[in-house]
């Protein structure tokens, strides 16, 4: 790879195909240009390569280099010549990878199977289990209706009872579900359950369905083994799903590595960041139809897809799940609930429209806060320790021993939140993006905030599997726009005007200053990009900023578009129920971020 100096990468999304060109400048890889075009996987085109060619054509025009030849990607035959050294691609076109997972116990093996599928970049259409309160005919009808790309079947520990997992296999056989793509080809089923049942499952469904057997995802109650199932899902995605989707057989002959599903690629770059910098990471992609949350805490990676929480096609689902009261509570003006509902309904009917007034924008961003909050709650329900495992305790609490399943999300340990998706990446003001992320995720302690400038994380994820150093260089230099850091002391409720912490702020250039974090107040200290500062945070006796109640913390933070946000709103964040008080507080907070309030 030492001679690789020009890299082309595309992401074939459900509506738009994005292409980026990366070149080596001196000793560092940098993004040169970006092009995009409508995705063409559906009729009337039915050929994903048309959209790829159109996006790459824009790259050619912007960069002034020749990348295409005879209607396909040209590979270089000499240094400094036309073409590219490597071409890579990711895809979520055609609805992405859609799966049904099945396990014996919903909160044990079925949940492990769901984590395996989500981590492989799938949208989980349904989770079936013996204890899901459905009758067998209901499961059969549901499976026939869904028409998934792949089914993941799991259940039982190795050597345990086989009857339950065999019952699920019989349900799949009776349903005889048909795949979305391809006429006359067998639906892929990945079996990752009890090893003792492998032969029985193969004998039962091996002839009717395309069965692939891998190691058990839950060989014993105390351990998950998700990677073999994820690898098998990725392989089946390439060999079956992609090969039958319109135009992908041709696209696969152009790429130098296997095409990767878009969410899987984003998960890889998140894990790469966490590993390279030894930090805990939280990422979000808020789209028109779904909101994806990615997290890495310790060595554990989790991804969830909230398929009904989006900002255009699914915006009314956000309204339904959150309730109009929770949306209007974020508005710094007296709301007309009927009018707000109608604005959101119009957005769903006309999903490509953008806000035309400041009030429209504030309503959209209030809805985004609720989409982020609800998606994060959903993520927390899956990002948990293994259920059914007895944890080791001391003699002092031996009698209080109970099952695990607690969330592994630790907001105090979180180092950075990375936001992406149009609502965050393309907000008119970076202050608005930071404000939405803080309200939606409610970080604690000291947390850095950033957004993906042009959503190139999928391309960098697939690149990181080939050239991790190049991927990280572009990620740090061109992908992320650092917004700044948020400092939040957490403790018991306090009286109005109470000081929660004292902050000594010493920037790398300029005078030092001393600040206070006051209950329910926000202070934003400018710290430009490229600069850094040392913070000495002394919390109140009962307040914690990362090292324990009352323990002083020293943190080094980097500058960004927003600066350092001192947030005294405690956690969980509670807004006054009285409209006048709530609006007055919101206007103060908007003012702290130097944002208009729509009136």
Kindly report, residue by residue over 196-207, the tens digit of the pLDDT.
999 999 999 999
List, in sequence order, every residue forming a beta bridge with 152; answer none if it has no partner.
Answer: 101, 190
Kindly report, residue by residue over 285-322, the tens digit of the pLDDT.
998 888 999 999 988 899 988 877 889 888 999 999 99
Distance CA 316, CA 499 (A): 40
List, in sequence order, every residue forming a beta bridge with 557; answer none if it has no partner.
Answer: 533
Residue 184 carries which DSSP code? Answer: S
Alpha carbon separation from 159 to 130, 163, 494 (Å, rounded): 19, 12, 55
pLDDT at 369: 97
Distance CA 546, CA 539 (A): 10
Distance CA 490, CA 377 (A): 19
Q: Which domains does the chain have, with CATH numbers?
A: 6-92 (3.30.420.40), 96-249 (3.40.50.360), 281-592 (no CATH)
Annotate 540-570 with DSSP letters as a single string: -TT-BSSSSTT--EEEEEE--SSEEEEE-S-
Place of tokens 């990181």: 464
pLDDT at 355: 92
pLDDT at 264: 87
Q: Average pLDDT of each block of 10 consecutive residues along the chain (599 residues)? A: 85 87 93 92 87 96 93 84 92 79 91 91 90 92 91 93 94 89 81 95 93 94 90 84 81 92 88 92 89 92 86 91 96 93 93 89 97 94 72 38 65 96 91 97 97 90 93 92 97 94 94 95 95 96 95 96 97 93 96 90
Distance CA 368, CA 311 (A): 7
- What is the pTM assigned to this prediction? 0.86
What percent of the chain has pLDDT above 70? 95
Residues 6+ apart with CB under 8 A from 62: 33, 34, 35
| Nearest one of 393, 337, 329, 394 to 365, comparing CA atoms | 329
Kindly report, residue by residue over 132-163, the tens digit of the pLDDT.
999 999 999 999 999 898 999 999 999 998 99
| Helix residue ranges, H only, 42-93 | 48-63
pLDDT at 98: 87
| Alpha carbons within 13 A on the beta-carbon side of 402 | 3
Residue burial 397-425, b: 16+ Cβ < 10 Å; e: rest = eeeeeeeebeeebebbebbbbbbbbbbbb
Spatial contact of 93 and 105, defined as CB atoms under 8 Å apart: no
CA 397 to chain centre: 37
């Amino acid at each position: 790879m030492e001679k690789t100096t020009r890299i082309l990468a595309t992401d074939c999304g459900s509506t738009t195909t994005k292409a980026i060109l990366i070149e080596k400048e001196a000793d560092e890889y940098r993004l040169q240009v970006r092009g995009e075009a409508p995705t063409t996987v559906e009729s009337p085109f039915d050929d994903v390569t048309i959209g790829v060619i159109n996006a790459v054509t824009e790259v050619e025009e912007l960069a002034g280099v020749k990348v295409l030849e005879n209607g396909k990607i040209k590979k270089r035959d000499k240094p400094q010549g036309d073409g590219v050294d490597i071409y890579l691609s990711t895809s979520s076109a055609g609805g992405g990878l859609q799966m049904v997972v099945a396990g014996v116990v919903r909160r044990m093996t079925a949940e492990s199977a769901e984590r395996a599928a989500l981590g492989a970049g799938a949208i989980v259409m349904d989770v079936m289990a013996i204890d899901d309160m459905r009758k067998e005919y209901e499961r059969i009808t549901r499976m026939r209706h869904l028409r998934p790309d792949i089914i993941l079947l799991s259940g039982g520990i190795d050597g345990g009872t086989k009857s339950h997992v065999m019952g699920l296999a019989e349900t799949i056989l009776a349903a005889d579900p048909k795949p979305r793509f391809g006429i006359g080809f067998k639906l892929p089923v990945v079996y990752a359950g009890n090893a003792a049942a492998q032969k029985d499952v193969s004998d039962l469904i091996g002839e009717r369905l395309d069965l692939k057997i891998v190691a058990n995802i839950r060989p014993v109650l105390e351990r998950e083994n998700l990677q073999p199932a994820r690898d098998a899902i990725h392989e089946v995605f390439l060999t079956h799903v992609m090969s039958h989707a319109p135009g992908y057989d041709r696209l696969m002959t152009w790429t130098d590595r296997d095409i990767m599903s878009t969410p899987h690629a984003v998960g890889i770059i998140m894990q790469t960041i966490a590993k390279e910098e030894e930090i805990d990471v939280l990422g979000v992609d808020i789209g028109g139809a779904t909101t994806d949350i990615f997290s890495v805490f310790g060595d554990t990676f989790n991804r969830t897809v909230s398929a009904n929480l989006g900002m255009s096609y699914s915006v009314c689902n956000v309204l339904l799940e959150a309730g109009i009261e929770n949306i209007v509570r974020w508005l710094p003006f007296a709301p007309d609930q009927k009018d707000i509902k109608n604005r959101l309904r119009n957005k769903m009917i006309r999903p490509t429209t953008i806000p035309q007034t400041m009030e429209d924008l504030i309503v959209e961003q209030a809805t985004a806060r609720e989409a982020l909050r609800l998606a994060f709650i959903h993520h927390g329900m899956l990002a948990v320790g293994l259920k059914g495992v007895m944890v080791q305790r001391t003699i002092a609490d031996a009698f209080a021993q109970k099952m695990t399943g607690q969330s592994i999300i630790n907001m105090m340990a979180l180092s950075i939140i990375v936001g992406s998706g149009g609502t965050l990446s393309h907000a008119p003001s970076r202050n608005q993006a930071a404000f939405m992320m803080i309200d939606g995720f409610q970080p604690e302690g000291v947390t850095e905030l950033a957004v993906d400038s042009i959503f190139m994380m999928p391309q960098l994820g697939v690149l990181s599997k080939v050239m991790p150093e190049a991927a990280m260089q572009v990620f740090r230099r061109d992908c992320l726009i650092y917004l700044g850091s948020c400092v939040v002391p957490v403790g018991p409720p306090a009286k109005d005007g109470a000081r929660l912490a004292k902050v000594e702020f010493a920037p790398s250039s300029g005078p030092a200053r001393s600040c206070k974090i006051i209950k329910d107040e926000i202070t934003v200290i400018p710290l430009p990009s490229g600069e850094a500062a040392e913070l000495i945070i002394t919390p109140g006796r009962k307040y914690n900023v990362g090292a324990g109640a009352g323990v002083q913390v020293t943190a080094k933070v980097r500058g960004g578009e927003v600066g350092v946000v001192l947030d005294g709103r405690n956690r969980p964040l509670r807004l006054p129920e009285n409209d006048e008080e709530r609006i007055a507080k919101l206007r103060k907070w908007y003012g702290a971020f130097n944002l208009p309030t729509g009136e």
